[in-house]
Each structure stands twice: as C-alpha cells, then as structure tokens.
Amino acid sequence: EAGVAQSPRYKIIEKRQSVAFWCNPISGHATLYWYQQILGQGPKLLIQFQNNGVVDDSQLPKDRFSAERLKGVDSTLKIQPAKLEDSAVYLCASSLEGQGARSFFGQGTRLTVV
C-alpha cells in the first residue's frame, strides 16, 4: 500500500523566512499528526487532526506555526517566521480513526534554518 507522502524532503531557509510542508496520509486514515523531531530527540507532537478538525494543538507554537487540513485529506504545516531553533525533521503520520497508536510515518522533511 502507498505510505504517507511528504514533501519536500529537505529545505534550507534563512531565519525569519517562511516555509511550508505538505503531507498526504494513507488513504482512508482519518487521523493525521505532525511531529517535530529535533536531532537526538524523540518525535514531539505538534498537532493532531481528526478528519479536518483539530484534536490537539497544545504543543504547537501558534505565534509562528500553523497547520490546516481543509478537506480532511492532505495537510500543510507552515512556519512564519522561522527561527534557528526550528531546525528539525518534521514528520507527518497518519492512522485509522481510533487507532492512533498504530501510526504510520512519512519520510519527513528536514528543515535547516540558517
């Protein structure tokens, strides 16, 4: 089966610039997650969608991060403006509704802010 697709794979931007990441979950997966994985650490949940609604965005720095999943399928995560400490891998994951633990991850987008 097709997995979770993410793009781009890599992105280098200067601080204060904007960047957007895209995620296409596994077909039929109602739940979509965005994680931030800083080098040497485990993934940290930023936001969780159930269809097109936000379930949990308590860890999302809302002053600079935003995310949407307008049609309940694809999702975009945006950072504006970026800071040096935003350098990380941004992972998208999806799961069937009610089975959040069995999440399938995308390859991630490695963001470097210089």
Partner 1 sequence: GENVEQHPSTLSVQEGDSAVIKCTYSDSASNYFPWYKQELGKRPQLIIDIRSNVGEKKDQRIAVTLNKTAKHFSLHITETQPEDSAVYFCAAIPVNDYKLSFGAGTTVTVRA
Q: Is 24 an interacting residue with respect to partner 1 (CB under 8 A)?
A: no
Q: Is residue 67 within 8 Å of residue 58, measured between CB atoms?
A: no
Q: Which range, of 15-23, 66-74, 80-88, 91-99, touches partner 1 by CB under 8 A?
A: 91-99
The contact pattern for partner 1, residues 58-87, with x = CB under 8 A and - = no contact, is ------------------------------
Nearest to 89 by CA among 27, 34, 48: 34
- Which C-beta is closer to partner 1: that of 16 or that of 62? 62
Detail the DSSP E strand segments found in 1-114.
5-7, 10-13, 19-24, 31-37, 44-50, 53-56, 65-68, 75-79, 88-95, 104-105, 109-113
Please say whether the beta carbons of 21 and 109 come within 8 A: yes
Q: Does 107 bind partner 1 (CB under 8 A)?
A: yes
Rg (CA), the chain: 13
Which of 18-26, 65-73, 74-82, 96-104 is the region at the interface with partner 1 (rule: CB under 8 A)?
Answer: 96-104
Q: Choose which of 103, 109, 111, 113 interacts with partner 1 (CB under 8 A).
A: 103
Q: How many residues bind partner 1 (CB under 8 A)?
A: 24
Residues that bind partner 1 (CB under 8 A): 3-4, 31, 40-45, 48, 55-56, 91, 95, 98, 100-108
